[in-house]
Structure 1
Amino acid sequence: MSLIIAKFGGTSIGNGKRIRKAAQSVVKEYMKGNKVVVVVSAINRTTDELLEIVEEATNNTITEKQLAEVVSMGEMTSARIFSSALESLGVKSEYIDPYKDEWPIITDSNLLDAKVDLKTTIKKSKILLKLLDQGIIPVVCGFLGRDKHGYITTLGRGGSDITAFLLGRCLNADEVIIVTDVGGVMSTDPNKLQEAKKLDKISVEEMRDLATHGAQVLHPHALKYKVPEIKAKIIGFEHGDLSAPGTEIIGPSKKEQLKTVTFNSEPLAVLAVVGEEILNKPGILAKLTSTLSKKNINIIGVSTGKNSITLFIKKEDAQEAHKLLHDVVVEDENLSSLSLGRDIAMITISSPEFIDTPGIISEITEPLREHNLNIVEISSSQTSVVIFVDWDDGKKAYELVRGVLE
């Protein structure tokens, strides 16, 4: 017997026939002996239509409390219809919305972009297990929360994904299944490139970066609640079967769940290639990197500017790389000069919470400014920040940055 969290997006329950098909897929798992908690979004375009009506009717004078209550109607309607569809198929179901005592998701009072109180939500979620033990299928409103004053809050657009993974974590579910209008995660947007292919699996880190940079398959903040022990996949609604194959989301690893600061034990070398407006010259970066790749020289970091490209490599490869790239500079009329700079230290700071932490780069770098330590280069992703400083400043910078995370 497995505990499954099944989240249905707005398109997958876009009309009555689709809702019934979705309900049948849930009943199919229920009849196998599995326990299922359903999470629903608003029916397709409902939230957008409500927002348009509110804007026209109030001339944008509506309060945050009023707006949160209005937009919640989409999910509350979906939950009621879906629960009714389940019962029409002969199983017991109960819709769970923020007005009910059984409501599990407690947040702060930022009504339109609330943050989850995880500790309280874990406690409150246990009541769903009691319903499941009674043979009842709970249908939970996605996207919504409730603050300590009893006010409805929202988790931001796309927040139903957050609801699904959050409940998966709080209930120690075996699997979270996201049902969408596509059959899984694609190699690119199929609406823009017909050759797009479905991926069989993708890591949490890859999925997070895709979602943050525009892929509409999954809310990037949802993945902060994904733990390695819980399986997860994205499938298409057309199957009408929660056991259908899709794209499996792998991870995160134990290391990726932790806050870490690492100091590269060996110094790096920095090579700077300059040329007038080389940022606008196609193929320059490819020529430089492929030259080093052919000699099996790994590039640790790359920085580009209007008139320069800076490469960070292992110090042991510096002399060979210097000669190889000098030959490229001499042969290419777009390039004018190359320099091999001083030894560089690299510090990597990682945390899954960075995606939800505005100003984290400023917080990390402020102690370095206060101690007059110069940053040579900085790069960042959704869960990590990499800082390059002079080698002589490396150990001190490492200690200062580590103090920020502690």
Structure 2
Amino acid sequence: MGIVVAKFGGTSVGTGERIKKAANSVVNEYMQGNQVVVVVSAINKTTDESIKLVNESIGDTVTEKQLAGILAMGEMQSVRIMAATIESLGVKAEYIDPFSEKWPVITDSNYLNAKIDKKKTAQQAKEHIVKLLNQGIIPVVCGFLGRDLEGVVTTLGRGGSDVSAFLLGHCIGADEVIIVTDVKGVMSTDPRKLNTARKLDKITVEEMIDLANYGAQVLHPNALRYKDPNIKAKIISFEYGDLRVQGTDIIGPSHSEEDVITITKLEEKLSVLAVVGEDLMNKQGIIANVTEKVSENNLSIYGISTGESSITLFFSEKDAEKAHEVLHDLVIRGDRLSSISLGQKIAMISVVSHDFIDTPGIITSITKPLHENNINIVELSSSQTAVVVFVDWDDGDKAHKLIKETLQ
């Protein structure tokens, strides 16, 4: 017997037929001997309609506390309908909203983007949710919502319902979290843009977060921060009406959620190669020419950047002379590149956090202490979740220490 947390999104409970299909899938799982916790979003478009009514009737004078209470009505309706539907199928269920003494998710009083008190939430979940499960009852819990220490309703912000599912799964020691949505799983690309898109059997949390940060809308990065690496998770479509259907498994994360920022210095020395040429930005295929030559010789690139007249590449020190040789061959055999130089020994420091996308000034926070300590940055590259800094090898340990002291 295992514990399963099943979260149903708004589209998954968007009609009476879909609600009954969802309830049937929960009951079937229960009948197979598993304990099931259900997390439900507001019925499709309910939240949008509420916001529209507020804008038309109250406008900007609505307080955050008032708006949180209004937005909560969608989820409070959903849990009541879902619990009643499950009971109509012959299994005991109990809805739990923020006004219940059994409510688990405790937060601060930031009403529209509340911070979760993990310790108090874990205590509530173990005391009340686990107790219901052991009594053979299916708890049906509002997603997206919290309650502050004064008993006032709060909301969890973007990705809130998925946050609720992963959070509760962690707190009660679930075996699996299942996200039921309107897609069959995670696709290789947006099927609305390319009809050759296919479903992935599995994907890592890190990959999912990067996809989400760049626009994929299957799961919000906020929710994935609460994914327990020891709990199985998957995304499936509501269409099948079966929680056992194969979707996309979510693997990891490789670091616990508490590791908000990881800062590592590569132990291996790197060397920098600079290839120069005129107006490289407008020479189609030039990057492909360089990387293809590197690949043909089984060399790994640790970093690459381009400018108007140069391409900078970083190789391990042991590969640098070979890279120098093969890329020089590319230079002298064509007319698009002018020269190549093999530079100094380099240290690489990687700073990774999925909070970077919501952290203005993070690059300044990293570079400022290096500037103040006269450490020259040879190269810097960044994405929405990572910043990689290249410095002279002799400055590597000091730079690593300064960045850690600043960010951690």
TM-score range, shorter chain: over 0.9
Q: Equivalents in 2 of 1:397, 1:53: separation in Å?
A: 53
Residues 148-163 of structure 1 aligned to structure 2 (within 5 Å): 148-163=149-164
Residues 120-269 of structure 1 aligned to structure 2 (within 5 Å): 120-126=120-126, 127-253=128-254, 258=259, 260-269=262-271
Per-residue CA deviation, residues 120-154 of structure 1 (Å, 9 max, x unaligned), is: 11111111111111221111111111222322222
Alpha carbons 2:302, 2:314 under 8 Å: kept: yes
Per-residue CA deviation, residues 17-63 of structure 1 (Å, 9 max, x unaligned), is: 00000001001111122111101111112212222222222233321
Give the equivalent residue in structure 1 for 2:307: 305
Match of 1:399 among 392, 398, 401: 401
Residues 55-74 of structure 1 aligned to structure 2 (within 5 Å): 55-74=55-74
Q: Equivalents in 2 of 1:374, 1:64: separation in Å?
A: 46
Alpha carbons 2:228, 2:257 under 8 Å: kept: no
In structure 2, relative to structure 1, the CA distance for the partners of 1:119 and 1:195 (3 Å cut) is same
Q: Cα distance, 1:320 vs. partner?
A: 2.6
Query: What SS does structure 1 have at the residue aligned with 2:228?
Result: coil
In structure 2, relative to structure 1, the CA distance for the partners of 1:256 and 1:299 (3 Å cut) is farther
Q: Cα distance, 1:339 vs. partner?
A: 3.0
Alpha carbons 2:213, 2:357 under 8 Å: kept: no
TM-score by length of 2: 0.92
Q: Cα distance, 1:366 vs. partner?
A: 3.2
Residues 330-369 of structure 1 aligned to structure 2 (within 5 Å): 330-350=332-352, 359-369=361-371
Query: What SS does structure 2 have at the residue aligned with 1:39?
Result: strand
Alpha carbons 1:7, 1:39 under 8 Å: kept: yes
Query: What SS does structure 1 have at the residue aligned with 2:378?
Result: strand
Match of 2:372 among 349, 353, 370: 370
Per-residue CA deviation, residues 336-369 of structure 1 (Å, 9 max, x unaligned), is: 4433322211122345665665544443333223
Alpha carbons 1:208, 1:382 under 8 Å: kept: no
In structure 2, relative to structure 1, the CA distance for the partners of 1:280 and 1:89 (3 Å cut) is farther
In structure 2, relative to structure 1, the CA distance for the partners of 1:394 and 1:186 (3 Å cut) is same
> Which residue identity lines up with residue 150 of structure 2 in the other structure?
H
Alpha carbons 1:211, 1:220 under 8 Å: kept: yes
Q: Which segment is superposed worse, 366-375 or 69-78?
A: 366-375
1:20 paired with 2:30, answer no
Give the equivalent residue in structure 1 for 2:49: 49
Q: Equivalents in 1 of 2:370, 2:298: separation in Å?
A: 34
Q: Equivalents in 1 of 2:278, 2:62: separation in Å?
A: 53
Query: What SS does structure 2 have at the residue aligned with 1:71?
Result: helix
Alpha carbons 2:159, 2:222 under 8 Å: kept: no
Q: Equivalents in 2 of 1:358, 1:13: separation in Å?
A: 37
In structure 2, relative to structure 1, the CA distance for the partners of 1:97 and 1:279 (3 Å cut) is farther
> Which residue identity lines up with residue 139 of structure 2 in the other structure?
P
> Which residue identity lines up with residue 328 of structure 1 in the other structure?
L
Alpha carbons 1:256, 1:352 under 8 Å: kept: no
Q: Cα distance, 1:206 vs. partner?
A: 1.2
- Give % identity: 63
Residues 33-112 of structure 1 aligned to structure 2 (within 5 Å): 33-112=33-112
Query: What SS does structure 1 have at the residue aligned with 2:72?
Result: helix
Q: Which segment is superposed worse, 200-209 or 1-10?
A: 200-209
Per-residue CA deviation, residues 280-330 of structure 1 (Å, 9 max, x unaligned), is: 443221111111110111100112334432211112222332232233344
Alpha carbons 1:25, 1:241 under 8 Å: kept: yes
Query: What SS does structure 2 have at the residue aligned with 1:122?
Result: helix
Q: Equivalents in 1 of 2:123, 2:361: separation in Å?
A: 31
Alpha carbons 1:3, 1:35 under 8 Å: kept: yes
Residues 372-387 of structure 1 aligned to structure 2 (within 5 Å): 372-381=374-383, 384-387=386-389
In structure 2, relative to structure 1, the CA distance for the partners of 1:342 and 1:165 (3 Å cut) is same
> Which residue identity lines up with residue 351 of structure 2 in the other structure?
I
> Which residue identity lines up with residue 42 of structure 1 in the other structure?
A
> Which residue identity lines up with residue 378 of structure 1 in the other structure?
L
Q: Equivalents in 1 of 2:117, 2:282: separation in Å?
A: 47
Query: What SS does structure 1 have at the residue aligned with 2:11?
Result: coil
Q: Equivalents in 2 of 1:251, 1:213: separation in Å?
A: 20
Q: Which segment is superposed worse, 205-214 or 234-243?
A: 205-214
In structure 2, relative to structure 1, the CA distance for the partners of 1:365 and 1:150 (3 Å cut) is farther
Per-residue CA deviation, residues 241-279 of structure 1 (Å, 9 max, x unaligned), is: 111111111122358974643322332111223344433
Q: Cα distance, 1:221 vs. partner?
A: 1.7
In structure 2, relative to structure 1, the CA distance for the partners of 1:278 and 1:132 (3 Å cut) is same
Q: CA RMSD in A?
A: 2.2
Which structure 2 residue ranges, 5 or more long, are not aligned? none
In structure 2, relative to structure 1, the CA distance for the partners of 1:347 and 1:157 (3 Å cut) is closer
